[in-house]
Amino acid sequence: MSSRRFDARVYAHRLQAAAAATAEAGLAGLVITPGYDLRYLTGSRAQTFERLTALVVPVAGEPTVVVPRLELASLKESAVVELGLAVRDWVDGDDPYGMVAQALGGGQVATAVTDAMPALHLLPLAERLGVLPVLATDVLRSLRMVKDPAEIDALRKAGAAIDRVHARVPQFLVPGRTEADVAADIEEAIVAEGHSEAAFIIVGSGPHGADPHHECSERELRAGDVVVVDIGGPYEPGYNSDSTRTYSIGAPDPEVARRYAILQRAQRAAVEAVRPGVTAEQVDAAARDVLADAGLAEYFVHRTGHGIGLSVHEEPYIVAGNDLPLAPGMAFSVEPGIYFPGQWGARIEDIVIVTEDGAEPVNHRPHELVVVPLPG
């Protein structure tokens, strides 16, 4: 028996929508190997091995799962059984790529494959099909970008869980402790608050805060440090949290406080810009314009946000040049930051969900610079 429950109706709808999108793209079918696309379409958390596992979704015909016989048991941990999908198992010496081609109808057929398919499988599959497949990004993008009510509920729960972790962070920020010490405490708290694991932990103190992708180090925290804490992870059924808050150990320098207040206005402006019909690049511009007006544009060195769901980073990307109109159900981060090399940095990040008339943040911790009192 599977330890997880799967709503076959949800996955059946997703498979039907994927087949319809594939047909609309003028393709004959989809081939999905283990990864987030397979998880989205069937709930399967199967891993990629040298032996091929693939979901085949033909436009004309029923979906088929091609799987090594020794991996058959893994199908119980998915919706494959509830959906009643055809399963073709194989053993060493068989030709699984030929099975995929047969499930697609045979002959040279235009096919899309999941973006994460290893070359180990892509190349022999292309040989059997007689044509190089295209990436499934364009086919699945619109489906995965717009979350259904169950996905939105999962993101809310993940957001509440990471908020509870941030509420505990100040007690970890004690001068003399290292960033690595703090990260270890945060990792424990992330799991204690309901996540299955910590996907990432950034503890950037002092000059390390000026590196947006710093992780943690043996640097000891000091009085006066500004500390960027960016944390998140999967929360069952696997939807991710991602939230950043910035802390000051002791009262901040007045110039730090002034610049941080501008960043706070920029983040608020971007969240307030979110509504259906507004483009992703307009949300990015809302944050960037506030910083530019204050002379801080050059210190904002990354996009304003990224989509989130089963993957921490997915479509839509909130960045200049992306003219995608927002739609209800889209979920993404809003996380402008300012970074002063060799000195300090700051970032404020919430996950928001596009509603019928605006944005619903799933993170609710205060956005102000959190001042951690010095011991004694």
Provide CATH 3.40.350.10 ranges for the chain. 8-144
CATH of 8-144, one of 3.40.50.720, 3.40.350.10, 3.50.50.60, 3.40.50.1220: 3.40.350.10
Closest CA to 86 of 137, 42, 135, 134: 42
What values do phi and psi take at 282, rounded to 5? -70, -35
Q: Tens of pLDDT along the chain (376 residues)? A: 345 678 899 999 999 999 999 999 999 999 999 999 999 999 999 999 999 999 999 999 999 999 999 999 988 899 999 999 999 999 999 999 999 999 999 888 899 999 989 999 999 999 999 999 999 988 999 999 999 999 999 999 999 999 999 999 999 999 999 999 999 999 999 999 999 999 999 999 999 999 999 999 999 999 999 999 999 999 999 999 999 999 999 999 999 999 999 999 999 999 999 999 999 999 999 999 999 999 999 999 999 999 999 999 999 999 999 999 999 999 999 999 999 999 999 999 999 999 999 999 999 999 999 999 998 7
DSSP code string of 221-273: P-TT-EEEEEEE-EETTTEEP-EEEEEEESSPPHHHHHHHHHHHHHHHHHHHH
Whether this model's pTM surpasses 0.85: yes
Q: Are strands 86-90 and 111-113 parallel, antiparallel or unpaired?
A: unpaired
The CATH fold assigned to 146-372 is: Creatine Amidinohydrolase (3.90.230)
C-alpha radius of gyration, the chain, whole number = 23
Q: Where are the CATH 3.90.230.10 domain residues in the chain?
A: 146-372
